[in-house]
């Protein structure tokens, strides 16, 4: 890494990613790393500073997650936050004790020293506490920098060694001066320049990918979604025709999707793109299947068959590229860590098996979703790609309740296209997490001319959400609902009724099956 950067060792706090966010907002690059990353590895990558995050464990428990103690002897500034502070204190010979009561929420701290990490801050600060244990005795060489009525050492520091600890969380919005504290750490104490941006990210990653790949070739499964599209654009920038993309048309994509991918990546970017049109095979295997989990299994397995066959025809590959993001990499670190820490990892590539003999290239693994979108824009991807809503791997198959067949796919694609077109007109379109149509397995009565019809019903689903785990139904304006309904009923033959889903998750889910 040629650029200034800060390493954040992740002890599993729900706020670890926020620390990264707050630092990158100040134009300093940072990476979240495992809490037990070896000091030697860190030393070789020369971070300007190290942050030890908070975490749900207690340093007083046996086997709680610990960092490499050599970290504190490298001459690199370290900032411990909450659990990170307690770990620093304990490792360096201080004493940590259980607090009288667990302290959660806002607290006033009084500064006892307004130089170094608290430079330019007022003498009393409102901060956010969330801890059980606290430092009862600081390690030798440390001074108390702040305290509260219930927490005698709310902040500590060794100016000589540039080691600092905060009992509270500077990264959350409930600590209004938190940004200033982090700024003092990364600029004054660590000496970062603050000139990092997405253009730097591209330059550094392009160089790193070129160096790693050499004259070998890279395979990438393009799904048309944001992550794989941005990964493809970045890797293509680095190695051009040594990147080979495979796009599988599974027959349950949205209207025009396969052509869009071909036009953009094949034609506009000039990538080596291989489109495997396996619609017939997928639909054939889905014949007669109504159970949602079986649909998912069939689509997942068929994807692997088709992708592997196509890849074999394209050639030999040493590397497989994926658009994995940090939240996909580490979902959780167990409260009781150490060697037994369970780090769940999952692969976000439409279900490729783990035993494929590839080395992985995951250039987005340090980024957050909105940063990936920004990177995509910087790489020249159009808005319709970078602002795309999440779309499930099994596609329209889980939005066609009952059997999936060519006619149902056509009906739903046409209805869905109209939902997309109308919803995109909204000025707050980007506030919608997902919006789509669902084809219901019932016929309802209607009138057309003098006769009765029995035709299909479509439900409209639109939700707002932060992460897909919980969701509220999105309040689409009546005008939009009206336009969607009348366009679908008038323009899509075979649908005579449109309803709007107003359930939230939980207890409902976003998809209907
Ligand atoms: P639910 O319906 O569980 O969906 O509230 C949460 C999010 O996950 C997506 N989803 C899937 N994505 N394969 C995927 O890749 C699937 O089988 C699948 N099922 C649901 C859904 O679109 C939403 O974003």
Q: What is the three-class DSSP state of 441?
A: strand
Q: What is the DSSP letter of 48?
A: S
64-90 CB burial, b ≥16 within 10 A, e <16: bbbbbeebbebebbbbbbbbbbbbbbb
Asked whether 509 lines ligand 1 (CB < 6 A), one says yes
Asked whether 294 lines ligand 1 (CB < 6 A), one says no
Q: What is the pLDDT of residue 223?
A: 94
**273 part of a folded domain:** yes
- CATH number, domain of 100, equals 3.40.50.880
Asked whether 21 lines ligand 1 (CB < 6 A), one says no
Q: What is the pLDDT of residue 353?
A: 63
Evaluate the CA torsion angle 57, 62, 68, 70 in order and state its sign.
Answer: positive
**299 part of a folded domain:** yes
- Comparing CA positions, the residue from 254, 223, 280 lying closest to residue 423 is 254
Domain final residue pick, 357, 386, 415: 386
**Co-location of 178 and 207 in the same domain:** no
The string of DSSP codes covering 118-134 is GTT--SEEEEEEEEEEE
**Which atom of ligand 1 is least distant from the CA of 465?**
24
Beta-ladder partners of 439: 400, 458
Ligand 1, atom 10: closest residue by C-alpha: 392
**Co-location of 129 and 89 in the same domain:** yes
**Co-location of 184 and 206 in the same domain:** no
Ligand 1 centroid to 397 CA: how many Å?
12
Distance of CA 391 to the CA centre of its chain: 15
Q: Which residue is associated with the tokens 């504290």? A: 181
Q: For a substitution probing ligand 1, which of 292, 298, 369, 392 has the most ligand atoms within 8 Å of its CB?
A: 392
**305 part of a folded domain:** yes
Q: Which residue is associated with the tokens 């956010």? A: 128
Which secondary-structure segment (H or E) carries 363?
A: none
Domain final residue pick, 161, 189, 217: 189
Q: What is the pLDDT of residue 261?
A: 96
> Is there a catalytic annotation at residue 3?
no
Distances (CA, A) of 109 to 80, 134, 177, 263: 17, 15, 12, 58
Ligand 1 centroid to 405 CA: how many Å?
21
Rounded distance between C-alpha atoms, residue 417 and residue 456, angstroms: 17
| Exposed/middle/buried for residue 503 (C-beta within 10 Å: 0-12, 13-18, 19+) | middle
Determine the structural domain holding residue 287 and report its residue range: 198-386
Secondary structure of 453-471 as H, E, C letters: EEEEEEEEEEEECCCCCCE
**446 part of a folded domain:** yes
Rounded distance between C-alpha atoms, residue 78 and residue 295, angstroms: 50
For strand 451-464 and strand 218-222, is the pairing parallel, antiparallel, or unpaired? unpaired
**Co-location of 38 and 162 in the same domain:** yes
CA distance between the termini of the chain: 45
Q: In what order do the strands lie in the sheet with 95-111?
A: 29-34, 5-10, 49-52, 78-81, 163-166, 155-158, 143-147, 95-111, 124-137
**Co-location of 286 and 236 in the same domain:** yes
Asked whether 472 lines ligand 1 (CB < 6 A), one says no
**47 part of a folded domain:** yes
pTM attached to this predicted model:
0.81
**Which atom of ligand 1 is least distant from the CA of 471?**
5
Q: What is the three-class DSSP state of 32?
A: strand
Rounded distance between C-alpha atoms, residue 427 and residue 207, angstroms: 39
Asked whether 296 lines ligand 1 (CB < 6 A), one says yes
**507 part of a folded domain:** no
**Co-location of 182 and 219 in the same domain:** no
- Comparing CA positions, the residue from 181, 104, 183, 197 lying closest to residue 150 is 104
For strand 143-147 and strand 124-137, is the pairing parallel, antiparallel, or unpaired? unpaired
Secondary structure of 316-359 as H, E, C letters: CCCEEECCCCHHHHCCCECCCCHHHCCECCCCCCCCCCCCCCCE
**394 part of a folded domain:** no
CB 60 within 8 A of CB 87: no
> Is there a catalytic annotation at residue 245?
no
**30, 82, 151, 190: which one is catalytic?**
82
Q: Other C-beta atoms within 10 Å of 263: how many?
A: 12
**67, 131, 169, 190: which one is catalytic?**
169
Beta-ladder partners of 158: 163
**Co-location of 133 and 223 in the same domain:** no
**511 part of a folded domain:** no
**31, 171, 310, 422: which one is catalytic?**
171
Asked whether 434 lines ligand 1 (CB < 6 A), one says yes
Q: What is the pLDDT of residue 349?
A: 39
Q: Please list the rounded mean pLDDT of every run of 10 residues in the chain (513 residues).
A: 87 89 93 94 96 95 96 97 97 91 82 90 91 92 93 94 97 93 97 94 95 97 95 98 98 96 95 98 98 96 96 95 76 35 36 73 89 95 94 96 97 98 96 97 89 94 91 97 98 96 96 96
Alpha helices in 127-193 (DSSP H): 178-183
Asked whether 392 lines ligand 1 (CB < 6 A), one says yes
> Is there a catalytic annotation at residue 174?
no
**Which atom of ligand 1 is least distant from the CA of 296?**
17
Ligand 1, atom 14: closest residue by C-alpha: 392
Asked whether 394 lines ligand 1 (CB < 6 A), one says yes
Largest CA distance in the chain: 92
Ligand 1 centroid to 411 CA: how many Å?
21
Ligand 1 centroid to 505 CA: how many Å?
12
Asked whether 395 lines ligand 1 (CB < 6 A), one says no
**Co-location of 329 and 243 in the same domain:** yes
Q: What is the pLDDT of residue 348?
A: 38
**Co-location of 349 and 430 in the same domain:** no
**Co-location of 218 and 304 in the same domain:** yes
Q: Which residue is associated with the tokens 């204190």? A: 89
Asked whether 513 lines ligand 1 (CB < 6 A), one says no
> Domain count of the chain?
3
**Co-location of 352 and 304 in the same domain:** yes
- CATH number, domain of 349, equals 3.40.50.620
**Co-location of 231 and 93 in the same domain:** no
Asked whether 228 lines ligand 1 (CB < 6 A), one says no
Can you list the pairs that 331-336 forms with residues at least 24 positions away whose Cβ atoms lie under 8 Å? Answer: 332/12, 333/10, 333/11, 333/12, 333/35, 333/55, 333/65, 334/12, 335/12, 335/55, 335/56, 335/57, 336/57, 336/61, 336/63, 336/64
Ligand 1 centroid to 71 CA: how many Å?
41
- Supply φ then ψ for residue 460, to 5 degrees: -100, 130
Ligand 1, atom 11: closest residue by C-alpha: 392
Supply the angle between the helices 226-239 and 198-213 in degrees, to the nearest 10. Answer: 60
Q: What is the pLDDT of residue 191?
A: 97
Ligand 1 centroid to 507 CA: how many Å?
15
- CATH number, domain of 458, equals 3.30.300.10
């Amino acid at each position: 890494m040629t650029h200034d950067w800060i390493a954040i060792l992740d002890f599993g706090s729900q706020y670890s990613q926020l620390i990264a966010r707050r630092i990158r907002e100040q134009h300093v690059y940072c990476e979240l790393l495992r809490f037990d990353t070896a000091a030697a590895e860190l030393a070789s990558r020369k971070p300007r500073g190290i942050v030890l995050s908070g975490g749900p464990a207690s340093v007083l428990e046996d086997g709680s997650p610990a960092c490499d103690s050599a970290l504190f002897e490298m001459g690199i500034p370290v900032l411990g936050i909450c659990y990170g502070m307690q770990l620093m204190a304990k490792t360096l010979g201080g004493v940590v004790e259980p607090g009288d009561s667990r302290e959660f929420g806002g607290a006033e701290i009084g500064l006892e020293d307004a130089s170094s990490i608290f430079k330019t801050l007022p003498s009393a600060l409102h901060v956010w506490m969330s801890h059980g244990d606290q430092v009862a005795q600081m390690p030798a060489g440390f001074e108390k920098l702040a305290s509260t009525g219930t927490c005698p050492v709310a902040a500590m520091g060794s100016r000589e060694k540039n080691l600092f600890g905060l009992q509270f969380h500077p990264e959350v919005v409930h600590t209004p001066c938190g940004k200033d504290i982090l700024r003092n750490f990364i600029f004054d104490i660590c000496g970062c320049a603050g000139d990092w941006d997405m253009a730097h990210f591209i330059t550094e990653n392009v160089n790193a990918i070129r160096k790693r790949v050499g004259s070998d070739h890279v395979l990438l499964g393009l799904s048309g979604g944001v992550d794989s599209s941005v990964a493809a654009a970045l890797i293509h920038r680095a190695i051009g025709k040594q990147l080979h993309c495979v796009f599988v048309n599974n027959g349950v994509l949205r209207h025009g999707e396969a052509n869009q991918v071909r036009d953009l990546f094949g034609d506009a970017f000039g990538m080596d793109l291989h489109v495997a049109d396996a619609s017939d095979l997928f639909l054939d295997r889905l014949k007669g299947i109504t159970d949602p989990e079986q649909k998912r299994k069939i689509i997942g397995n068929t994807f692997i068959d088709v992708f592997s066959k196509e890849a074999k025809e394209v050639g030999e590959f040493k590397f497989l590229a994926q658009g994995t993001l940090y939240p996909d990499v580490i979902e959780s670190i167990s409260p009781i860590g150490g060697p037994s820490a369970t780090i769940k990892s999952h692969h976000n590539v439409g279900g490729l098996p783990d035993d494929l003999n590839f080395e992985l290239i995951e250039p987005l693994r340090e980024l957050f979703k909105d940063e990936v979108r920004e990177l995509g824009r910087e790489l020249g991807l159009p808005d319709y790609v970078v602002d795309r809503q999440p779309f499930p791997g099994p596609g329209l198959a889980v939005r066609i309740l009952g059997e999936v067949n060519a006619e149902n796919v056509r009906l739903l694609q046409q209805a869905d296209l109209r939902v997309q077109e109308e919803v995109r007109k909204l000025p707050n379109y980007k506030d919608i997490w997902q919006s789509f149509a669902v084809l219901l397995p019932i016929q309802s009565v209607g009138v057309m001319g003098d006769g009765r019809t029995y035709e299909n019903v479509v439900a409209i689903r639109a939700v707002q959400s932060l992460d897909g785990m919980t969701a509220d139904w999105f309040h689409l304006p009546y005008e939009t609902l009206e336009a969607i309904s009348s366009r679908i009923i008038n323009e899509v033959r075979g649908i005579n009724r449109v309803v709007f889903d107003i359930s939230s998750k939980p207890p409902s889910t976003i998809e209907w099956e």
